[in-house]
Amino acid sequence: MAAKSTFTNMVLSLGSICLVCSALLGIANNVTAEPIAQATLAKINDKISYVVPSYDNNPSDNVTMVEVDGTEYKVYLASMSDKVVGYAIEVAPTGFGGPISMIVGFDAENGNIYNTAVISHSETPGLGDKIASNEQGSFRDQFIEMNPASNKLSVRKDGGDIDAITAATISSRAFTVGVSTAYKVYLTLVGSGDADVVSGASKK
């Protein structure tokens, strides 16, 4: 009986420990979730300011979802004096090391790519990670002020107009696919013929 009692007590003790650990993990998640969400939002806001013309609204509060080929994409609308000046489109193509979270900005006035930015990635250091470089003459510079309608959005190895990063064709191709996808989203948005949808306003 003593052995059985000892085993029962051990099971109860382990069960209690597991419950306490679960409770502590739940508390920790609740405590850290909000700061992480705020940090992520701050990072996205920073990238948005980099990829669209100057604005006086808060694009992260003016978001619309656009579906292309069965996938929904988030579009941040940047406005100045209540007029949309740019569209920041979030996409996540698959690179060599996994998803590349990125934002592509379009100038509402002419439809050109205003700029691009990488939010996060897992590409190879010293090679594929150059997709995130902001240095002058970097890979992403070739997309600035590009008219997508007049350029083939694929790397030269695939017959396109984009110069790939040396020894990082997969990363370069993935990033370019991301830009091409964002352009499809942009065309779907502005090509809807519904100005109220584009501006984020309710149609009357």
Torsion of CA 110, 149, 182, 169, to 10 degrees: -130
pLDDT computed for residue 198 by the predictor: 34
Residue 55: its pLDDT value, please? Answer: 98
Q: What's residue 193's pLDDT?
A: 36
With respect to residue 139, please indicate whether it lies within any of the assigned structural domains: yes
Q: How far apart are CA 194 and CA 62, in angstroms?
A: 16
Kindly report whether the global pTM for this prediction surpasses the value 0.95. Answer: no
pLDDT of residue 202: 30
Whether 137 is covered by a domain: the verdict is yes
Say how many domains are in the chain. Answer: 1
CB 91 within 8 A of CB 99: no
CA–CA dist 94, 173 (Å, integer): 10
Distance CA 65, CA 183 (A): 14
Which residues have a Cβ under 8 Å from the Cβ of 191 and sit 6 or more positions away?
none
Residue 17 lies in a domain: no
21 within some domain: no
Q: What is the pLDDT of residue 201?
A: 34
In a domain, 81, yes or no: yes
Q: Is residue 16 part of a domain?
A: no
Q: Residue 6: which H helix or E strand, with range?
A: helix 2-51
pLDDT of residue 2: 52
Say what the pLDDT of residue 19 is: 73
| Domain presence at residue 71 | yes
193 burial level (CB within 10 Å; 0-12, 13-18, 19+): exposed
What averages of pLDDT result for each successive group of 10 residues across the chain (204 residues)? Answer: 61 70 66 73 92 97 96 98 98 98 98 97 97 95 96 96 98 98 96 41 32
Can you give the pLDDT at residue 125?
97
Name 203's Cβ contacts closer than 8 Å, sequence gap at least 6: 194, 196, 197
**Domain annotation covers residue 86:** yes
Domain that holds residue 127: 50-199
